[in-house]
């Protein structure tokens, strides 16, 4: 609890279990037909961090998605739990992030079951143990003593560090019984709702993606969250390729966006033609565009050939206009 400059009282809440449960409890005539309820918010949060650290990972201000679920029974609540875990699994798969789902301690939030979605990384704050065969994964915090072998297959557990990007809790009736968040059963009897709570670190996913995927001198973004998919680099001003190369690059852009209209708003033209192609390529690397299309010396060949940098695959391709369109028509950004 704290007071603002006008002497008014405030309460800072790390998460909103109590507030959400009170909200549901206020609906006193809730029927079993209205469950499951899945209420979520995406909000800006603040952390009293003495000193921001680990780049973008440990900042004082961040965005988070919280969700709170209310079900009619333990079985239904566990079904919801599995659905949310599957949704998180699908999200990280689509982003192309190498995550692991680990058993976790319930901590201050409580409940009887909890999992974290972690991205293995040397700078991660959490210590994890993993079965090399994939049978077991846990945050060291929840283990009793020094567990060194997998409880399923007996293989020696490996240790790594991880960045937490998602967390799920099965709460049961810990909060709903106190706040009297009830619903009426088919027999019209009041019953306490079974709860779960779930969180995704929205800005942390951005920061962790950069941390996990990038190289020493280049940012790497998952396609779905890259600021732009494409960077076009025309020839240097005054070069013999300048006039034809710029026109061919524009024609490529027009033909490409006719086939893939969404790329029209997902492309950047680096028109700083006073700079060399090499300098602009270096900047494109730092900014992390997944694809860079260059009109270089080979653009004057017959047929014209473009230089395409597939940054996430770490390869350079030399393609005709048709080849570039075929390659980029496979880009999924939605």
Longest dimension (CA), the chain: 84
Neighbours of 237 (CB within 10 A): 12
Write the burial class of residue 81 (CB in 10 Å: 0-12 exposed, 13-18 middle, 19+ buried): buried
* Domain residue ranges in the chain: 2-213, 223-329
Query: What is the DSSP code (8-state) at residue 47?
Result: -
Give the three-state DSSP class for 63: strand
Nearby residues of 303 by Cβ (< 8 Å), 6 or more positions away = 320, 321
Q: Where are the alpha helices (DSSP H) in the chain?
A: 17-25, 74-95, 176-179, 202-213, 242-259, 277-287, 321-328
Distance in angstroms between the alpha carbons of the first and the last residue of the chain: 42
Give the CATH class of 2-213. Answer: alpha beta
Separation CA 281–CA 75 (nearest Å): 55
pLDDT of residue 49: 66
Both tokens of 284, joined, read: 């494109």
pLDDT at position 53? 62
Reading the chain (334 residues) residue by residue, the pLDDT tens digits are: 888 778 888 777 667 888 899 999 999 889 999 999 999 999 887 766 666 666 666 677 788 999 999 999 999 999 999 999 999 999 999 999 999 999 998 877 767 899 999 999 988 889 999 999 999 999 998 887 778 899 999 999 999 999 999 999 999 999 999 999 999 999 999 999 999 999 999 999 998 998 889 888 888 998 888 989 999 999 999 999 999 999 999 999 999 999 999 899 999 999 999 999 999 999 998 899 999 999 999 999 999 999 999 988 889 999 999 999 999 988 766 5
3-class DSSP assignment, residue 53: strand
Can you name the CATH fold of 223-329?
Rossmann fold (3.40.50)
pTM score of the predicted model: 0.85
The predicted pLDDT at position 26 comes to 94
Token look-up 């699908």 returns 90
pLDDT for the residue numbered 237: 96
Strand 182-184 versus strand 190-192 pairing type? antiparallel
As a whole number of angstroms, the distance between CA 299 and CA 302 comes to: 8
- In this prediction, residue 55 carries a pLDDT of 62
Dihedral over alpha carbons 164, 170, 173, 174 (to 10 degrees): -30
């Amino acid at each position: 609890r704290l007071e603002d400059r006008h002497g008014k009282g405030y309460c800072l809440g790390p998460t909103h279990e109590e507030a959400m449960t009170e909200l549901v409890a206020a609906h006193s005539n809730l029927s079993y037909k209205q469950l499951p309820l899945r209420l979520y918010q995406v909000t800006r949060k603040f952390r009293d961090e003495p000193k921001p650290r680990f780049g973008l990972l440990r900042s004082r201000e961040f965005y988070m998605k919280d969700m709170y679920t209310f079900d009619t029974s333990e079985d239904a609540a566990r079904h919801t739990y599995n659905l949310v875990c599957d949704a998180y699994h699908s999200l990280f798969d689509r982003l192309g992030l190498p995550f692991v789902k680990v058993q976790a301690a319930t901590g201050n939030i409580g409940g009887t079951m909890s999992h974290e979605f972690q991205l293995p990384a040397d700078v991660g704050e959490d210590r994890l143990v993993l079965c090399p065969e994939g049978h077991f994964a846990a945050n060291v915090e929840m283990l009793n003593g020094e567990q060194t072998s997998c409880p399923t297959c007996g293989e020696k557990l490996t240790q790594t560090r991880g960045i937490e990007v998602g967390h799920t809790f099965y709460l049961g009736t810990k909060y709903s019984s106190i706040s009297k968040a009830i619903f009426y059963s088919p027999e019209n009897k009041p019953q306490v709702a079974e709860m779960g709570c779930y969180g995704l670190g929205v800005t942390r996913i951005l920061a962790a993606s950069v941390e996990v995927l990038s190289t020493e001198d280049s940012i790497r973004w998952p396609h779905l969250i890259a600021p732009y998919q494409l960077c076009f680099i025309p020839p240097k001003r005054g070069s013999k390729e300048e006039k034809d190369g710029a026109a061919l690059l524009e024609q490529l852009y027009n033909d490409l966006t006719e086939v893939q209209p969404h790329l029209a708003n997902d492309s950047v033209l680096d028109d700083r033609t006073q700079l060399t192609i090499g300098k602009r390529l270096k900047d494109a690397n730092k900014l992390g565009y997944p694809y860079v299309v260059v009109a270089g010396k080979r653009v004057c060949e017959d047929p014209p050939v473009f230089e395409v940098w597939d940054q996430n695959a770490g390869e350079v391709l030399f393609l005709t206009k048709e080849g570039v369109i075929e390659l980029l028509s496979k880009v999924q950004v939605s």
